[in-house]
Amino acid sequence: MSTALHLLNGGAGNLAAYLAAHVLLCLLPAFFIAGAMTALIPKAGITRWLGRNTSPHVSYPAAVAAGSLLAVCSCTIVPLFAGIYKKGAGLGPAITFLFFAPAGNILALAYTGSILGPEFAIARVILCIFFGVGIGLLMARLFWRDDASHDARTDALFAKDGRMGRAAIGLLLSLLAVLLAGTLKLAPLTATIATAELSAPWAETWQAILVQWVPFDAARGEEGVSVQGSLLILLLVLIGLAAWKGLENITEGPNRWTWLALALAAATLLTAALRLIPTGEGLQVALTGRVIAVGVALLACLHFARQLEAAGLHAWLWESWRFVKQIFPLLVVGVFAVGVIRQLIQPAWIQGLAGQNDLTANAVAVLFGVFMYFPTLVEVPVARMFLDLGMHPGPLMAYLMSDPELSLQSMLMVAAIIGRKKTAAYVALVAVFSMAAGMIYGAWVDGASLAWIGLGLFASAAVLVTMARLNGRRPRSARLKGEHA
């Protein structure tokens, strides 16, 4: 009984810590961005760069470039992936974007370089590009019929889309600004501008209670829940209740619950950007540059949202809410399950299971990445801990390639978007390519000839180019077949 309670507490604690630390400034803007992509961007705007019929020499580099600029974790990228895929992006470029963004974005690479060294960061970005494009090409090749059907459905759904207006462009850019202002770790954003002391004698006591309820071990990458985090969880619940009443029937027009949900969302984002620190005398409130940046971006969102036509505004809010209903429950289930499983896994096992660069060790590292998901800024220090515990750099690379992609909650969410069959293929490809990345990097660390490694990468590039050409021909042949049918 005590073991079961311990596991349940681990799941609940992991969920509470995740909701408090990562949902608001990352995932909440991502849902609104995904809704704006679906409702406001004409299909031609997506397919021009990421479409199924776009030249692979354009679409796949565009997917990589877009992913490199978004410093977000895998759970945040899934709604964005859903947005571009629903609006007409080809399966291959969309999958490349899904794979590359959480593992190969600028923040992840910079942080990897600072903690694990520049050589590790360079190897990570090269392998992410090679294998991200490779996985996308293979998915497009394996499911080209489904991709063609999906393309036809988006044509039917969005055939009447016209040009994207200035208000829609301004709103989308403002939402991206909210996401970046809330996630980037730049000195102007993290700097403290002013502080104030609130009389809150309960704050320190409440923090002690939270530590008892949600114990955490920083060495295992666990984060716990702070006083500020508990406040944010409460606000998140209030947003959900208001949104259920205000957005469920938004196509019929807004009501007072709609405006309350949006006001709570804005207030919550600003609260998350503050720094609340319990002290012996009360609660210290620190105004940071992040608060100013998020506030300005939110004002810009309000300005452009008011310029939208009523139909466009309602469609944006409905699509955002639809993504929340589709994705968020699976995220909650996945994060809870990871918290339970994490209690059963001991980091000390790493030395015995992944202390050398072989197929078994790389497979164990990939499996470990599934059940020990960490956000980007936690994932790299945990990787450093694994390295110090004796994990070989090869399996460590496999872990860092798979952890952002194959977390349990991410797989559940992706399956809700593209179906179980495609998700199973994607998971299998990521696992295989992650192990290959670990074997290649581990071989280099162990002193394998650079010539042989370079030859292997060159051969991989040749295969990718060949696949790109084959994929480029497939849509034309498919169209001709359809015309003769």
DSSP letter string over 50-68?
HBTTS-HHHHHHHHHHHHH
Q: In what order do the strands lie in the sheet with 275-278?
A: 192-198, 283-288, 275-278
Reduced to 3 states (helix: H, G, I; strand: E, B; else coil), residue 161 is coil
DSSP letter string over 323-381?
HHHHHHHHHHHHHHHHHHHHTT--TTHHHHHSSS-SHHHHHHHHHHHHHS---HHHHHH
Q: Please indicate, yes or no, whether residues 293 and 364 belong to a single structural domain of this protein.
A: no
Residues with Cβ within 8 Å of 232's Cβ and at least 6 positions away in sequence, in order, are 19, 20, 24, 268, 271, 272
DSSP letter string over 374-425?
--HHHHHHHHHHHHHHT--HHHHHHHHHHTTT--HHHHHHHHHHH-HHHHHH
Q: Please indicate, yes or no, whether residues 311 and 422 belong to a single structural domain of this protein.
A: no
Structure tokens at 291: 């608060």
Question: What burial letters (b/e) apply to 366-399, b meaning 16+ CB within 10 Å?
Answer: bbbbbbbbbbbbbbbbbbebbbebebbbbbbbbb
Reduced to 3 states (helix: H, G, I; strand: E, B; else coil), residue 453 is helix
Q: Please indicate, yes or no, whether residues 78 and 30 belong to a single structural domain of this protein.
A: yes
Consecutive 10-residue runs of the chain (485 residues): their mean pLDDT?
71 72 72 84 77 87 83 74 86 92 77 79 88 90 87 64 78 90 84 89 86 69 76 90 92 91 94 87 89 96 94 91 84 74 67 78 84 65 74 89 80 89 92 88 82 69 64 49 39
Sign of the dihedral defined by the CA atoms of residues 343, 345, 346, 347, in that order: negative
Region of 184 (left: φ > 0; alpha: ψ -120 to 50; beta: rest) is beta
Residue 127 lies in a domain: yes
Residue 8 lies in a domain: no
Reduced to 3 states (helix: H, G, I; strand: E, B; else coil), residue 294 is helix
Q: Please indicate, yes or no, whether residues 223 and 355 belong to a single structural domain of this protein.
A: no
Q: Please indicate, yes or no, whether residues 296 and 355 belong to a single structural domain of this protein.
A: no
Check residue 258 and give its pLDDT.
95
Distance in angstroms (rounded) separating the CA atoms of residues 378 and 312? 38
Structure tokens at 50: 């990421």
Residue 10 lies in a domain: no
User: What is the span of the domain harbouring residue 402?
Assistant: 349-484
Structure tokens at 245: 């009443």
Distance in angstroms (rounded) separating the CA atoms of residues 96 and 88? 15
Q: Which residue among 275, 293, 326 closes a domain?
A: 326
Check residue 67 and give its pLDDT.
82
The domain total for the chain is 2
Residue 3 lies in a domain: no
Check residue 470 and give its pLDDT.
63
Q: Please indicate, yes or no, whether residues 170 and 130 belong to a single structural domain of this protein.
A: yes
Residue 336 lies in a domain: no
Q: Please indicate, yes or no, whether residues 321 and 355 belong to a single structural domain of this protein.
A: no
Q: Please indicate, yes or no, whether residues 159 and 199 belong to a single structural domain of this protein.
A: yes
Q: In the chain, how long is the greatest CA-to-CA distance?
A: 79
Residue 187 lies in a domain: yes
- E strand or H helix at 438, and its extent? helix 420-445
Residue 7 lies in a domain: no
Q: Please indicate, yes or no, whether residues 240 and 375 belong to a single structural domain of this protein.
A: no
Distance in angstroms (rounded) separating the CA atoms of residues 213 and 348? 25
HSE of 49, CA atoms in CB hemisphere, 13 A: 13
Reduced to 3 states (helix: H, G, I; strand: E, B; else coil), residue 33 is helix
Distance in angstroms (rounded) separating the CA atoms of residues 226 and 158? 45
Residue 184 φ then ψ, to 5°: -65, 145
Task: With 0.95 as the threshold, say if the pTM is over it.
Answer: no
Q: Please indicate, yes or no, whether residues 279 and 209 belong to a single structural domain of this protein.
A: yes
HSE of 378, CA atoms in CB hemisphere, 13 A: 21
Distance in angstroms (rounded) separating the CA atoms of residues 63 and 48? 12
Q: Please indicate, yes or no, whether residues 143 and 225 belong to a single structural domain of this protein.
A: yes
Distance in angstroms (rounded) separating the CA atoms of residues 115 and 362? 21
Structure tokens at 470: 């084959």
Distance in angstroms (rounded) separating the CA atoms of residues 251 and 453? 56
Residue 157 lies in a domain: yes
Q: Please indicate, yes or no, whether residues 181 and 257 belong to a single structural domain of this protein.
A: yes
Q: For 31-46, how does the pLDDT look when each residue is reduced to its tens digit (9 = 90+)?
A: 898 888 878 887 677 7
How far, in Å, are 34, 166, 223, 457 from residue 169 at the CA level?
A: 13, 5, 37, 40
In 3D space, the residue among 404, 322, 343 whose CA is nearest the CA of residue 124 turns out to be 404
Check residue 354 and give its pLDDT.
75
